[in-house]
Structure 1
Amino acid sequence: MKYYLGAYAASPNHSGWNAELEVAFYDELKALPNVKGLEHPFLGSLHPYDDSWLLANIDPAWDYVFTCIPGIMNALGQNPRFGIASLDEEGRLAALDFMQQACTAIHKLNAHLGRSAVKAIQIQTAPARHKAASSKAALQASLQTLMSWDWQGAHLVIEHCDAYVDSHLPSKGFLALADELEVLTQLNIHLPAAQRLGMVINWGRSVIETRRVEGALEHIKAAQAAGVLSGVMFSGVSDQNSEYGAWCDSHQPPRLSEQVLHGEPGSWMTEQVIWQCLAAAGHAEQLPILGAKIGIRPMSASIEQRIDYVRNTLAIFDRYFAATP
């Protein structure tokens, strides 16, 4: 089995751009045998610093899943009404313009590789509901527009982020899972199977929302029951105020254990709960999107240390599939 890796979260370039350092990091990534490709961050252009650098240094065999959350969070910092689910029409159209830039970047990457290498694009249902109004109707209208564009085969999926709830301040605070699932199922009624929209569950963001480990499992089961589960990305979280922060979407590695030698002691994302989620997904090996995104602390960690964390995390998946008939 091979998996997608949100490698940008583990990059040694955490506060600037050093091309030489990133080359060394990518060379190590390309040597990992169980990496299918990258969950690639989209901020408005193909690469946040240098498109040419990216095209010259990626593995031509890798596949890609774009994630729009880095660019969306940047945009929300400037305009809290930004988002494809926004009731503010100006904010909704700004989000569609951003998505058009993502579509252009996908074309550029595919053209360079000479194939449809971008398999999916993860869309998030901004804005934050405690700062601006959003709705299912606005989301549906935006998705209908996006479906009319040429994505060169990339699957359109909503990545569920922690929804706004009354009990605590959110990290993202976007639409509720039930609302997202309702819109997806309504739109999918009229679509052939190959064009149906999907849902990706991010483990950490579901736990941030629910404040329970079981929350991620419940979200996976809900998306599965709705017939739209397209993937699971594993990214940890904790209630402890470590270098990662309490209840922060900082992509904690799995919990340290006898088998996970490079992990985070306070992480709620244990090997056991990862296995439970993979089992709940049902034929997890067939999911179009399956992988991990982990951040590394301390920030001064070497490339070798960063790769050790990545290798240990992906080994959890390998052990699951080796043990599953």
Structure 2
Amino acid sequence: MKYYIGAYAASPNQTGWNPQLETAYYDELKQLPNIKGLEHPFLGKLHGHDDNWFLANIAPQWDYVFTCIPGIMNALGRNPQFGLASCNTAGRQQALDFMQQACNAVAKLNSHLGRQAVKAVMLQTAPARDQAAASADALYQSLSTMQQWDWQGAQLLIEHCDAYVPAHVPSKGFLSLSDEIAVLNRLNTVSDQAHKMGIVINWGRSVFETRRPDGALEHIMAVQAAGLLSGLMFSGVSDQDTEYGAWRDSHQPPQSSELVQHGEPGSWMTEQAIHQCLAAVEDLSRLSVLGAKIGIRPHQASVELRIAYIRDMLAILDRYC
């Protein structure tokens, strides 16, 4: 099986932009046989630094899943009321404008490759509920509007981020999973098959929310029971104060072991936990999104080391898929 990789999280360009270094990184990514394509970050235009560089360096056979969370977090830094679920009219319109830009970027990438290369667009249900008012009804209105746009066949998916939980400081603090499920169940009853939406579970973000390794598995089961499970991305988290930080959405690699040489000892995302989640999915082949997104520490790590971490992560998936 082949997988999507959130390559941007493991990029050597975390604090600046060196196109030569990024080219070397992409050249190595192209040599990995089990990469289906990229989970690609959307920040307002096709590539955060240089659209032309991106188009010149991607593998022509790769497929793409856009994730809007980097751009959403940037926008929230400027306006806490930004978001598709915002009860603030201006904040919700800003989020719709941002998603229209994402739609345009989908068309640009597809046009360059001459095919429907973008398979899905993952959106997130901002704003943070400890900072601004948000509601399921506002999200429903936003999604109803977006369904009228030409996404060129790309499926719209909600990536569940950690919901606001009063017991601890959130990373994202967006809508609850139950709200997201309710909105999509309501929306899908009035949508044709081509526009039906689903939910992607990110392992680390579900564990961040629940503060339990089994939290991700529970979220997978809940979404699957609702008939909405469309994707699974593996990204780690931990309570230990390492270079990745305690309880930070820093995309920790899997826990190191005899089989996983390039990992993070304190990561809660063990090979066993990954296996349990994969085994719980009724049909992995029907998922629109399956893959991993890991960050690398230290930030000065070589391209070769970054690729080794990615290779070990994908090897875990290969052992169970």
- TM-score by length of structure 2 reads 0.99
| CA distance in structure 2 between the aligned counterparts of 1:202 and 1:52, rounded to whole angstroms | 30
Q: Look up the match of 1:151.
A: 151
| CA distance in structure 2 between the aligned counterparts of 1:308 and 1:302, rounded to whole angstroms | 10
SS in 2 for 1:285: helix
Q: Look up the match of 2:115.
A: 115
CA deviation string 1:155-207 (max 9, x = no partner)? 00000000001110100000000000000011101223332101000000000
- Where do 4+ consecutive residues of structure 1 move more than 3 Å? none
| CA distance in structure 1 between the aligned counterparts of 2:74 and 2:7, rounded to whole angstroms | 19
Q: Look up the match of 2:89.
A: 89
| CA distance in structure 2 between the aligned counterparts of 1:276 and 1:286, rounded to whole angstroms | 18
Does the Cα contact within 8 Å between 2:230 and 2:286 map onto a contact in 1? no
| CA distance in structure 2 between the aligned counterparts of 1:108 and 1:192, rounded to whole angstroms | 26
Q: Look up the match of 2:292.
A: 292
CA deviation string 1:71-106 (max 9, x = no partner)? 000000000000000000000000000000000000
Q: Is 1:236 the counterpart of 2:236 in the alignment?
A: yes
Q: Look up the match of 2:74.
A: 74
Q: Is 1:311 the counterpart of 2:273 in the alignment?
A: no
| CA distance in structure 2 between the aligned counterparts of 1:59 and 1:16, rounded to whole angstroms | 23
- TM-score by length of structure 1 reads 0.98
Counterpart residue identity of residue 140, structure 2: Q
Q: Look up the match of 1:203.
A: 203
SS in 2 for 1:159: strand
Q: Is 1:252 the counterpart of 2:246 in the alignment?
A: no
* Cα offset, 1:286, TM superposition: 2.6
Q: Is 1:279 the counterpart of 2:279 in the alignment?
A: yes
Counterpart residue identity of residue 15, structure 2: S
User: In percent, how many aligned pairs have the same letter?
Assistant: 69
CA deviation string 1:111-140 (max 9, x = no partner)? 000001000000000000000000000000
Which 5+ residue runs of structure 2 have no aligned equivalent? none
| CA distance in structure 2 between the aligned counterparts of 1:251 and 1:207, rounded to whole angstroms | 12
When the two chains are superposed, the root-mean-square deviation of aligned CA atoms in Å is 0.6
Q: Look up the match of 2:99.
A: 99
Does the Cα contact within 8 Å between 2:162 and 2:206 map onto a contact in 1? yes
Q: Look up the match of 1:24.
A: 24
Q: Look up the match of 1:139.
A: 139
| CA distance in structure 2 between the aligned counterparts of 1:44 and 1:286, rounded to whole angstroms | 30
SS in 2 for 1:175: coil
Does the Cα contact within 8 Å between 2:41 and 2:66 map onto a contact in 1? yes
Q: Look up the match of 2:15.
A: 15
Counterpart residue identity of residue 95, structure 1: A
Does the Cα contact within 8 Å between 2:238 and 2:266 map onto a contact in 1? yes
Which 5+ residue runs of structure 1 have no aligned equivalent? none
